[in-house]
């Protein structure tokens, strides 16, 4: 099933790239982050065996458990909200933290990375539609965060992460992704080293790629429904 699903997702990404209206500065290589949250560790092994390199998990504790039972390998992305008291574990474990969503967290991650002698790669998560119940920087907070970045020696910002709201019609997500792309372009103009625009999940990754995403985070379309009874 996974082999087949992977083929389908990769084909749809290719088609979305062909449908892109204009050339995008994000390039035409799309990194597929396989989101394995609420699936057992074997699922990660199977994904790695098929050549998937990027693994997305949303909970520190769950990822820790999986990393303990799996052989090393893969590039691990934290995609869920990070609580301050989990920063220590997260910095030790994740290659990239996509879900940095507050000034406080920037400072905490920098401190911990410095302590263990690591440069932590991060994305800033944006709350573009400014939805109250969602994590992510508002536009103003984001601009403020950018002015602080150079104070942190142990952080390396690689770009931004955007989550669209759930909607019945995926076309409704297009303006959100288009605005994510514009913000990315501005950021890239200021900092050339920026190279990741992470947008799109199972329900909307095709639209995200059309609008310029070069990283998508896909779970259900690869692995089927999650099992929320699994305990880690």
Ligand X SMILES: *Cc1c(COP(=O)(O)O)cnc(C)c1O
Interacting residue with ligand X among 79, 97, 126, 207 (CB under 6 A): 79
What is the length of the chain? 232
- Judged by DSSP in three states, 192 sits in coil
- Name residues contacting ligand X, limited to 123-162 (CB under 6 A): none
What x-and-dash track marks residues 27-46 binding ligand X by CB under 6 A? --------x-x---------
Work out how close the CB of 189 gets to ligand X at its nearest, in angstroms, rounded to a whole number.
26
Total residues interacting with ligand X, rule: CB under 6 A: 14
* Site membership for ligand X, residue 74 (CB under 6 A): no
For residue 142, count other CB atoms closer than 10 A to its CB.
Answer: 19
108-140 b/e (C-beta count within 10 Å ≥ 16 → b) = bbbebbbeeeeebbbbbbbbbeeeeeebbbeee
User: What CA–CA distance (Å, rounded) separates 125 from 128?
Assistant: 9
User: What CA–CA distance (Å, rounded) separates 153 from 64?
Assistant: 26
Interacting residue with ligand X among 26, 36, 58, 102 (CB under 6 A): 58
Which residue's CB atom is positioned nearest to ligand X? 219
- Name residues contacting ligand X, limited to 195-224 (CB under 6 A): 201-203, 217-221
* Interacting residue ranges for ligand X, rule: CB under 6 A: 35, 37, 58, 79-80, 163, 201-203, 217-221
């Amino acid at each position: 099933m996974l082999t087949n699903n992977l083929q389908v997702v990769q084909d749809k990404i290719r088609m979305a790239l062909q449908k892109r209206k204009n050339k995008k500065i994000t390039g035409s290589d799309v990194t597929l982050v396989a989101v394995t949250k609420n699936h057992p560790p074997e699922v990660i092994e199977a994904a790695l065996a098929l050549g998937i390199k990027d693994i997305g998990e949303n909970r520190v504790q769950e990822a820790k458990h999986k990393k303990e039972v799996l052989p090393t390998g893969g590039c691990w992305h934290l995609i869920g909200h990070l609580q301050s008291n989990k920063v220590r574990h997260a910095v030790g474990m994740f290659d990239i933290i996509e879900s940095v969503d507050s000034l406080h967290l920037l400072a905490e991650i920098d401190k911990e990375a410095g302590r263990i002698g690591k440069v932590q790669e991060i994305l800033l998560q944006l709350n573009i539609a400014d939805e109250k119940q969602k994590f992510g920087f508002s536009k103003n907070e984001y601009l403020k965060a950018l002015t602080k970045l150079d104070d942190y020696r142990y952080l390396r910002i690689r770009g931004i992460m955007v989550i669209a709201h759930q909607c019945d019609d995926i076309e409704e997500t297009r303006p959100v992704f288009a605005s994510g792309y514009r913000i990315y372009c501005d950021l890239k103009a200021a900092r050339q080293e920026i190279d990741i625009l992470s947008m799109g999940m199972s329900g909307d990754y095709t639209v995200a790629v059309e609008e310029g995403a070069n990283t998508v985070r896909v779970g259900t379309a690869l692995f089927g429904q999650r099992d929320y009874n699994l305990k880690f």
